[in-house]
Amino acid sequence: MYPNVPPVDQLVTLIAVDEHRSIASAARALGFSQQTVSARVASAEKTLGVKVFQRGIAGSEPTERGRTVLDAAHEYLEAAGRFSRAAAGAARPDAARSLTVAVSNTVAELYFPSWASRFHKLNPQVRLLLRPCNSTAVSEAVAEGECPLGFVEGTAVARGLDSAVVGVDDLIVVVAASHPWARRDPRVGVTVAELRRTPLIMREHGSGSREVVEDVLGTIAAPAGEFGSLSAQRAAVTGMEEPTVIAARAVARELKLGELVRVPVKDATFRRLIRAVFSRHGDLEKDAAALLDIAREGVGGGAAAPL
């Protein structure tokens, strides 16, 4: 790639001759024979196409063009040294590095924090970079090579990706405590037909939650509102006093306090898979594989229930 650059050992020899001002002195300093040093100088000059030294009785003095080459050789060797140290550091198992992970909004809020905590304890040298987005965007980011691993809810997986189920997540119908459904006999609950004709608070198009609701209910009424995050959806249930289908884990506190009420559905179950997605070409890199193992294990009570 660089045909006029001599090998490092020849550049080191040139610098030694310059510093000691003679082939003989440079040979003693380097621990080589004068013949070896002379041969290296001659080979370097041939490669460079420049006569670096003017040899005489007084020793070896750099030519004008030789001085330019020697100054550049110092810079080159300093850069080579930095490269060598960086490469050696990168090869160490404990070298600092980063892992970018695309995570759907629901997984990012409910499950990923405990996975990340466990991963950090086991791999403190790896900086996790979380990219929260909806499930469609997660798959796109992984498919386009922007990150090696993603986590989504739902069943759809983009073409060119493989997936691994790390658990399941139950969605439930909830309403504000003031909603008429909150006073229904739990043995009665609501039907799929009622849900279809009721304007629901929904997540945005492309989210795994919405995919599950639409798969179960089919045609639905125009939503009462669409929200791009789990926290906004949760707040809207109380504020708008309309029903929603939401991850049970996301509203556990509100259900316990009585702010929201779960409404049983007689003839349907809303359940979604939590999946890891990754390229089907090649193996997962070590850090991504370690995070996937943690998600599968459900460390710290933060993962979805295993299948």
Question: For 300, left (φ over 0), alpha (ψ -120 to 50), or beta?
Answer: left
Predicted pLDDT of residue 273: 86
What confidence score (pLDDT) does residue 103 get? 93
Query: Please, what are the domains in the chain?
Result: 8-91 (1.10.10.10), 96-307 (3.40.190.290)
Would you state the pLDDT for residue 30?
86
* Cβ atoms 160, 140 nearer than 8 A: no
State the pLDDT at residue 4.
Answer: 80
Predicted pLDDT of residue 299: 38
Is the CB of residue 275 less than 8 Å from the CB of residue 169? no
State the pairing for strand pair 244-247/161-176.
antiparallel
pTM of the model: 0.60
What is residue 90's predicted lDDT score, i.e. its pLDDT?
67
Q: What pLDDT score was predicted for residue 306?
A: 39
Low-confidence ranges of the chain (pLDDT < 70): 1-3, 89-96, 155-158, 298-307
pLDDT score of 307? 37
Say which residue the tokens 């459900």 belong to.
298
